[in-house]
C-alpha cells in the first residue's frame, strides 16, 4: 500500500470514528415525546382559557400567543436550542419551532445593528417557510378554484 492509499485509509477510519451514529427508533421517540409535550402544554393553556370563560377561537388565539411567547423567551434564555437538539423535529415542527426560527437569528445578529443585523437576518430561517407556504397555498387554491369550475369539488 503506498502513502496516498494509507492516508486515505486513515482519513476513512477517522471519519467513521467521528461520525455520530443514530438510533432511528429512539430519535423518533424523542421527537414524538417532545412534540407531544408541546401539544400537551398547548392543550392545557387552551383548557385553562376556556375554563376562564373564553370561546374556542379566543382560547386558541391565546394558546398560540403564549406558545410563541414561551418559545421566544426560551430561545432568548438559550434553552430552546437544547430542547430542539434533544427533541429534533418534535420541537421544530410546531408553532414554537417557527417562533424559534424567527427569534434565533434576530438574537444572534443583534450586535450588528437594527438594519444590517436584525432587519436583514430575522427571516433567514423562517423566510423560506413563509415563501413556500404562501406559494403552496396559492397553488392549492388555484387547483381548488379550477376544480370547482369544472365540477370536481
Cβ neighbours of residue 44 closer than 8 Å, sequence gap 6 or more: none
For residues 1 and 7, the model is more confident at: 7
Give pLDDT, residue 62.
96
Q: Using one digit for the tens of pLDDT, what is the confidence trace for 130-151?
A: 888 899 999 999 999 999 999 9
pTM, whole model, 2 decimals?
A: 0.68
d(CA 74, CA 31) in angstroms, rounded, equals 18
Q: How far apart are the first and last CA of the chain?
A: 68
Give pLDDT, residue 7.
87
Q: Using one digit for the tens of pLDDT, what is the confidence trace for 40-87?
A: 999 999 999 999 999 999 999 999 999 999 999 999 999 999 999 999
Give pLDDT, residue 102.
83
For residues 20 and 45, the model is more confident at: 45
3-state helix, strand, coil in the chain (%, to 5): 85, 0, 15
Q: Using one digit for the tens of pLDDT, what is the confidence trace for 81-104?
A: 999 999 999 998 778 888 888 888
- With b meaning 16 or more CB within 10 Å and e meaning fewer, what string describes 63-81? bbebbbebbbebbeeeebe
Q: Report the candidate in 80, 130, 84, 128 with the shortest Cα–Cα distance to residue 107.
A: 80
Give pLDDT, residue 93.
79
Amino acid at each position: 500500500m503506498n502513502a496516498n492509499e494509507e492516508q486515505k485509509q486513515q482519513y476513512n477510519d477517522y471519519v467513521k470514528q467521528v461520525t455520530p451514529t443514530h438510533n432511528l427508533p429512539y430519535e423518533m421517540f424523542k421527537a414524538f415525546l417532545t412534540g407531544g409535550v408541546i401539544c400537551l402544554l398547548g392543550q392545557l393553556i387552551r383548557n385553562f382559557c376556556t375554563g376562564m370563560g373564553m370561546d374556542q377561537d379566543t382560547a386558541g388565539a391565546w394558546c398560540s400567543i403564549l406558545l410563541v411567547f414561551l418559545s421566544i423567551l426560551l430561545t432568548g434564555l438559550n434553552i430552546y436550542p437544547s430542547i430542539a437538539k434533544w427533541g429534533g423535529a418534535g420541537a421544530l415542527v410546531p408553532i414554537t419551532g417557527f417562533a424559534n426560527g424567527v427569534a434565533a437569528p434576530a438574537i444572534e445578529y443583534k450586535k450588528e445593528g437594527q438594519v444590517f443585523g436584525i432587519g436583514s437576518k430575522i427571516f433567514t430561517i423562517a423566510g423560506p417557510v413563509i415563501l413556500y407556504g404562501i406559494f403552496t397555498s396559492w397553488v392549492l387554491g388555484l387547483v381548488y378554484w379550477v376544480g370547482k369550475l369544472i365540477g370536481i369539488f
